[in-house]
Amino acid sequence: MTHLHIALWGVLPYLVLLLFAAGSGWRYRYDRFGITTRSSQLHESRLLRVASPLFHIGLLLVIGGHVVGLVIPESLTERLRIPESAYRANALLVGGAAGLAAVAGFALLVWRRLRTRAVRRSSLPTDRALYPVLAVVLVAGLAATLAGSGAGDYDYRLGVSVWFRSLFEMDPDVTAMRHAPPVFQVHTLAGMALFALWPFSRLMHAFAAPVGYLLRPYIVYRSRGFRTGARPGSGMPGHPPAALAAQGSKARQRS
């Protein structure tokens, strides 16, 4: 084990986590109203209607797959009597489809930004730094999914997953990550670079999603006809309320 491996897999994750937490807190404190997607839908909407859902839905499924693959140990699936072949087939089909959707959506979004002058001009320097990192994360992650879920000898749940869980125990298993195939190491390093850039990019809008909108109380609307004195259910305007009639009479008297 060299000092480089200790720095990459034992020290760097905590530095990235510190930068992520401190940067997010700073952004929320001093740039709360700057946390936005900076939507460019007004400039181009045809490609956006396809690319954005494809990218976001695929990304959500990818995140779910990471939670299952990294957090749930192999011993638990064994106790649940889930065959290893079934687990790998599900990871390959679902994870591969989600990865392809995220990559395709991201490619369309980048193509849209490059071909539409107004969208391209609205790009920030952080976007130009973010897109290459995100591209490496997605492509390397898709390759790792195909490699780790196939019939290969490497089982990431006995390597990368063990290292990931050991970080929360404050005792990083550097050896587990050191022996991972290069594609997993590249994916992990690019992922840490992505989290380091996260607080300073438009990715912060993920924390500003209107989750409370789903739990809001119902809004009761009154029809315009009812507000002006229409007879409910008739669809025809009725006589104005007495108060409005009195106000109209006073106005006529003053004039």
Exposed / middle / buried, residue 6 (Cβ in 10 Å: 0-12, 13-18, 19+): middle
- Predicted pLDDT at 212: 63
Q: Alpha-carbon torsion 187, 69, 173, 197, what sign?
A: positive
What domains appear along the chain, each with residue ranges and CATH number? 3-215 (1.20.950.20), 224-254 (no CATH)
- Residue 141: closest CA among 204, 58, 75, 48: 58
On whether the CB atoms of residues 165 and 171 are closer than 8 A, the answer is: no
pTM score: 0.78
In this predicted structure, what is the pLDDT of residue 78? Answer: 86
Question: Cα dist. 80→36, 77, 150, 173, 208 in Å?
Answer: 42, 5, 21, 26, 37
Q: What residues form the annotated binding site?
A: 56, 66, 187, 205
Tens place of pLDDT per residue across the chain (255 aa): 689 999 999 999 999 999 999 999 999 888 877 787 777 888 888 899 999 999 999 999 999 999 999 999 888 888 888 888 888 888 889 999 999 999 999 999 999 999 999 888 888 888 889 999 999 999 999 999 887 665 467 889 889 999 999 999 999 999 999 999 999 999 999 999 999 999 999 888 888 766 665 566 766 666 666 555 555 544 444 445 555 455 555 555 555
pLDDT of residue 62: 94
What is the pLDDT at residue 148?
Answer: 67
The pLDDT of residue 204: 87
Residue 205 pLDDT: 83
Which segments of the chain does DSSP mark as H helices, in order?
3-6, 12-30, 46-71, 74-79, 84-90, 96-115, 117-121, 125-148, 160-168, 174-178, 182-197, 224-227, 242-254
Cα separations in angstroms, 115 against 53, 104, 108 = 20, 16, 10
* Tokens 């490699």 belong to residue: 147
d(CA 28, CA 26): 5
- The predicted pLDDT at position 181 comes to 92
Binding residues for heme b: 56, 66, 187, 205
Question: In this predicted structure, what is the pLDDT of residue 214?
Answer: 58
16, 5, 4: which is closest to 175 by C-alpha? Answer: 5
